[in-house]
Amino acid sequence: MGARRMLLLGPPGAGKGTQALRLVAKFGIPQISTGDMLRGAVAAGTEIGRRAQGYMDRGELVPDSVVIGVAEERLSQGDAESGFVLDGFPRTAAQAEALDALLERMGTKLERCVALVADEDSLVTRLLGRAQIEGRSDDSEDTIRTRMSVYHEQTAPLIDYYRKQEILAEVDGLGSVEEVAKRIEEALS
Ligand code: ADP
């Protein structure tokens, strides 16, 4: 059987969320999106939401201590026992190390990191389009630029981290949802 404990890595707008939902439907495993969980916390006005909001609005990363807690709590729930699709977590070396340590404590490990690859111009165009449709408060042009540079500085180094673990698959993220889904399926089999 193919991998069931997987992670989607890639710059903002690369289609992680869309592809994560396809994997949820295909494998019957939960999507774990720290972005969605943090937006939920902001909307619900929780303490975590209050701590996260400013960073999110500016397009900066929410501090590791906050995000790691959120992700660990979610991964510890029963429905993640037989597999999961991580989407938007980890995003820093510290988060990646915390994830490895947690999975080790749980007696398991990550099986595949799918890195979606796309050029920045296409991504910015996509994100600006999404901004009009979804009205997400962090999809303004300035914030998009910040998120891109944060990605290059803090998250892109994780590609090497997972390459060294020999679980990396790089997948072309440009094309139709269907085409990209097919490439991911191949990378997971
Ligand atoms: P995108 O990948 O399109 O930027 P996300 O929904 O994954 O969107 O994330 C939105 C925002 O939530 C990020 O810009 C950041 O502020 C916060 N966030 C989400 N996941 C993390 C994480 N793992 N670490 C730090 N901040 C995060």
Amino acid at 112: R
- To the query of whether residue 126 is one of the catalytic residues in this protein, the response is no
Average of pLDDT values for 70-92?
A: 96
Active site (annotated) includes residue 74: no
Task: Let me know if 91 is a catalytic residue.
Answer: yes
pLDDT of residue 130: 84
pLDDT band at 30 (very low <50, low <70, confident <90, very high): very high
Contacts of 180 (CB under 8 A, 6+ apart): 15, 19, 116, 171, 172, 173, 174
Report pLDDT digits (tens) over 103-150. 999 999 999 999 999 999 999 988 988 878 887 778 888 899 999 999
| Topology of domain 5-184, CATH | Rossmann fold (3.40.50)
Identify the CA nearest to 97 among candidates 81, 109, 82, 114.
Answer: 109
Residue 76 reports pLDDT greater than 60: yes
For residue 3, what pLDDT band results from cuts at 50, 70 and 90?
confident
What's the rounded Cα separation, in Å, for the pair 187 and 175? Answer: 16
pLDDT at 1 over 60: no
**pTM of the shown model:** 0.93
CA distance 104 to 142: 39
Q: In this predicted structure, what is the pLDDT of residue 167?
A: 97
Quote the ligand 1 centre to 58 CA distance (angstroms): 11
Q: Which residues contact 93 (CB under 8 A, 6 or more apart)?
A: 154, 157, 158, 161
Write down the catalytic residue from 91, 112, 126, 183: 91
Residues framing ligand 1 (Cβ under 6 A): 12-13, 34-35, 38, 55-56, 59-62, 67, 88-91, 95, 138, 147
Count CB atoms within 10 A of the CB of residue 125.
Answer: 11
Residue pair 125/60 in contact (Cβ under 8 Å)? The answer is: no
Q: Is 16 a known active-site residue?
A: yes
Distance 1 CA to ligand 1 centre (A): 31
